[in-house]
Amino acid sequence: PVRPAAGHAPPSAGRPASFQEMWRDLRPLGRNADSGGYRRYAWTGADTDCRAWFEEQAAARGLAYEVDRNGNQWAWLGDPTAGDAVVTGSHLDSVPDGGAFDGPLGVVSSFAALDVLRARGATFAKPLALVNFGDEEGARFGLACVGSRLTAGQLTAEQAHRLTDGDGITLPRAMEAAGHDPDAIGADPERLSRIGAFVELHVEQGRALDLSGDRVGIASAIWPHGRWRFDFRGEANHAGTTRLVDRRDPMLSYAETVLAARREAELAGAVATFGKISVEPNGVNAIPSLVRGWLDSRAEDQAALDTVVGGIERAARAYATAHGIDLDVVRESFTPVVEFDHALRDELARILGKDTDLTVPVLGTGAGHDAGILSGHIPTAMLFVRNPTGVSHSPAEFAAEDDCVAGVHALADVLEGLACT
């Protein structure tokens, strides 16, 4: 059958009927009416609503639904035990005040791509699974990609039991409160052994596709990245009566460290961000006793990342010493550079390029993804959909509907090429 090639989907043709319906149903879940952003933290009510939505979508399509031992949701077409499964999906949780697309676009597109394939009358030679990985953003427990890390054995059950949210609730207790058995969590190599390929579609979190004029791209690599916690400890005291020379104010060292992070990142051509801070006792009229800041840093290669983080830590120690502050730096998480499977990447490019002169752009990214975690264990690839402003992790995150539909068709083409006869 003649069908629109990837990136060439006509504006209103080939739009899966289910596509707008899925967005309509997801739109109110965990949405802040004032900002228009989303707060869908793992294992909260909003996340539970999103998970219920996933289960409904699976049921509406007659797919076999299951939750794995780590709380990831799966919807299967074909025999899950047959092996060599083709898997697609992403995540439904969000950062604080996140956008509508980071995560959900990949999940919605997975269901929509299946609808497209069924409308084409495709015959599947391999099992197909659609997946929603739990707790990708790490907004609640501090560690990103918890569901895929557990499955891959990159996070042990013991380590997971020590993850705590801002209210002191541990990850297992949060899972249990949401109806999941926390004793089940742990590595799941048997599940991974049944997967032949994983493809994650995601909104682009930069402007490379906008600049190249393409709707869809293929990911090449994910930068190495990590999170570091800086604890600056000083002495609480009265803001009105304590002379400046008598103070041990950790906020000063923290502030200087933020500026150093910017400088070091510029020098190394990397990025460094202090986006989260907690202050004790957090009183307007008290000098803080503790300033805890979380550094997120990423660079194109490991050497640059080491340079940036090393430079920031050295600067922080110098400032702390100068102000009589104790400093602890703890690396809370780290993900090494990911180079996506070359054979699968080439296969995607071949599938998306066929019947057209389209050259599919291949992009690196500074954002982490479940696909990055799984790439160490199974052949993994990613598709990006154009984001005209590049804004992400913000309510302003956006992708045009025509581009999203082009993404659905690209994903359908890829799944057909990988799983169908």
Identify residue 33 by its one-letter amino acid code. Answer: A
Minimum separation from the CB atom of position 374 to ligand HGY (A): 13
Residues whose CB falls within 8 Å of the CB of residue 23, separated by 6 or more in sequence, listed in order = 100, 108
Given the complex with ligand HGY, which of 114 and 144 has the nearer CB atom? 144
Which residue is closest to ligand HGY by CB? 368
Minimum separation from the CB atom of position 145 to ligand HGY (A): 6
Minimum separation from the CB atom of position 304 to ligand HGY (A): 17
Q: Which stretch binds Mn ion (CB under 5 A): 102-110, 118-126, 191-199, 406-414?
A: 102-110
| From the list ligand HGY, Mn ion, none, partner contacted by residue 299 (C-beta under 5 to 8 A by kind) | none
Neighbour count for residue 157 (Cβ, 10 Å)? 17
Given the complex with Mn ion, which of 102 and 204 has the nearer CB atom? 102
Minimum separation from the CB atom of position 202 to Mn ion (A): 6
User: How far, rounded to the nearest angstrom, does the alpha carbon of residue 76 sit from its chain's CA centroid?
Assistant: 22
Given the complex with ligand HGY, which of 264 and 370 has the nearer CB atom? 370
Return residues touching ligand HGY (CB under 6 A). Answer: 136-137, 144-145, 367-368
Q: Environment class of residue 355 by beta-carbon count within 10 Å: exposed (0-12), middle (13-18) or buried (19+)? A: middle
Given the complex with Mn ion, which of 103 and 288 has the nearer CB atom? 103
Minimum separation from the CB atom of position 198 to Mn ion (A): 14
How many secondary structure helices (H) and strands (E) does the chain include?
13, 15
Report if residue 102 touches Mn ion, rule: CB under 5 A.
Answer: yes
| From the list ligand HGY, Mn ion, none, partner contacted by residue 368 (C-beta under 5 to 8 A by kind) | ligand HGY
| From the list Mn ion, ligand HGY, none, partner contacted by residue 381 (C-beta under 5 to 8 A by kind) | none
Report if residue 372 touches Mn ion, rule: CB under 5 A.
Answer: no
CA-wise closest residue to 202 among 403, 36, 31: 403
Structure tokens at 416: 């057909």
Judge whether 195 and 85 are in contact, CB under 8 Å.
Answer: yes
Q: What Å distances lie between residue 138 and 111, 112, 253, 263, CA to CA?
A: 24, 27, 27, 27
Given the complex with Mn ion, which of 102 and 135 has the nearer CB atom? 102
Residues whose CB falls within 8 Å of the CB of residue 95, separated by 6 or more in sequence, listed in order = 102, 137, 139, 393
Structure tokens at 88: 């697609």
| From the list ligand HGY, Mn ion, none, partner contacted by residue 103 (C-beta under 5 to 8 A by kind) | Mn ion
- Chain positions contacting Mn ion, by CB under 5 A: 102-103
